[in-house]
Structure 1
C-alpha cells in the first residue's frame, strides 16, 4: 500500500482455527484489532494515554472481504493504514496477508467515546496532530 502502512507479524495457532485447521472467520477481525492497537501504540497512544484521557475507541463499522483461507501454522501479517480521519472517528484500511497474498481485506471505522458514558467525543488534539501525518 503506502509508506504509512503499519504491519504486524502473526502466527496462526490451533486456537485460531476450526476443526479443519482453517482460520475461523472472526479471528481475522482479531488480527486486524491487534494491528490497529500496535499501530496506535507505535504513535504513542497506548493504554496509558487512552486511560489518562478518559476515552475509548469502539468499532462503529466493519466491512470484511474474505479472499483465501489461512491455515494452522501460517505466518501472516496484519496491516493497518488510516484511510480517513473525522472529528470523532478513524477509518482504517486493513489487510491480512500470507507472503504477498491478500487473504482478507477490511475497512473498519472506530469511534472515539467518553469512557464513562460511552458517548461520542472528539479525538484529543494531541492525538489528531500525530494521526494527520500518518494518513
Structure 2
C-alpha cells in the first residue's frame, strides 16, 4: 500500500498537539494532512504554488475529509504523512493520505479538494497544465 505513494512528509509530534489522554488530539491529524498536501504541491509546482493562488488560477480548498483512526500518535513521535492524488476531475481532485509511525499505520484519510476562486467564491476548472503535472508525477492514466 505505501508503495503506491511517491510523496511523504515527516514531522514530529509537539507537546501542544497532545490532549489529556497524552495522545495527539484528533483535530491535529487534519492539520498534518494539510501540511503534507501543501508540501506535496510544493514538490509538483515548485515556486509557482503561491503565484497560482494569488492569480486565482489554482487554489485548492477542502471540500471533504474522511479520517479512519487505527492507533494514536504520542508526544515526540516522528510521523510520516504519505500523500497522493488518485483521481482528477474538472474542478476537483481526490487524495489519499496515510499517516505512519515507523511501520505502523496510525491514520488513513480520503480528501476531496476543489480548485476555488476566492474572487467569485466558486469552484473553477483545474488548468490543464496542472492536471498534466499531477498526472506525470503520479503516473496516472491519461484519457
**Normalising to structure 2: TM-score of the pair?**
0.88
How is 1:53-68 mapped onto 2 (pairs within 5 angstroms)? 53-68=56-71
Does 2:42 match 1:34?
A: no
Note the C-alpha offset of 1:19: 2.1
| Count of residue correspondences | 135
CA distance in 1, matches of 2:126, 2:117: 10
CA distance in 2, matches of 1:114, 1:55: 8
1:12 corresponds to which residue? 13
- Which contiguous aligned blocks of 4+ residues in structure 1 show a shift greater than 6 angstroms? none
CA distance in 2, matches of 1:76, 1:8: 8
CA-to-aligned-CA distance 1:25-70 (integer Å, 9 cap, x gap):
0111110111111001111152222213444211111111000000
CA distance in 1, matches of 2:118, 2:59: 6
CA distance in 1, matches of 2:35, 2:118: 20
Structure 2 residues not aligned, in runs of 5+: 139-143
Secondary structure of the residue aligned to 1:2 is helix
Does 2:97 match 1:88?
A: no
How is 1:1-135 mapped onto 2 (pairs within 5 angstroms)? 1-2=2-3, 4-44=5-45, 45-135=48-138
CA distance in 2, matches of 1:63, 1:90: 14
Structure 1 residues not aligned, in runs of 5+: none
2:141 corresponds to which residue? none
**Preserved contact between residue 52 and residue 59 of structure 2 (Cα < 8 Å):** no
Secondary structure of the residue aligned to 1:43 is helix
Note the C-alpha offset of 1:3: 5.6
